[in-house]
């Protein structure tokens, strides 16, 4: 493990260039806002705003949908898939 690291990001919502100083704690809120997930203000890190084309609102939940689903409100997994995952997580002792 080293104190300094490297982050590479690409895509239509990403600016190119040097981000300057950042922390590993900044990754979760930055990726969360790119995925349109709510609750970024709950994270310890900061959104890497210099990397993003649009400046995000940390507290906004306007984009509260599953990015893997087709539209807001649509579930990403079927009931059977959710039950299978729950059973597997219980078997592993997570829930």
- In the chain the first and final C-alpha atoms are separated, in Å, by 31
pTM: 0.53
Cα separation, 93 vs 51, whole angstroms: 38
Backbone angles phi, psi at 92, to 5 degrees: -85, -5
Q: Tell me, what's the pLDDT at 62?
A: 43
Q: What residues contact residue 5 under an 8 Å CB cut-off, 6+ apart?
A: 24
Per-residue pLDDT of the chain (95 residues; tens, 9 = 90+): 677 788 888 888 888 888 888 888 888 888 888 888 877 777 888 888 888 887 665 554 444 444 444 555 566 778 898 899 999 989 988 88
Q: What residues contact residue 7 under an 8 Å CB cut-off, 6+ apart?
A: 19, 22, 27
CA-based torsion, 56, 60, 61, 63: positive or negative: negative
Q: What residues contact residue 31 under an 8 Å CB cut-off, 6+ apart?
A: none
């Amino acid at each position: 493990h080293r104190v300094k690291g490297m982050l590479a990001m690409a895509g239509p919502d990403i600016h190119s260039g040097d981000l300057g100083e950042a922390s590993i704690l900044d990754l979760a809120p930055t990726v969360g806002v790119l995925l349109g997930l709510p609750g970024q203000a709950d994270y310890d890190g900061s959104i890497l705003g210099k990397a993003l084309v649009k400046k995000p609102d940390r507290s906004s939940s306007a984009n509260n949908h599953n990015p893997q689903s087709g539209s807001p409100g649509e579930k990403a997994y079927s009931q059977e898939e959710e039950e299978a995952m729950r059973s597997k997580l219980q078997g592993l002792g997570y829930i």
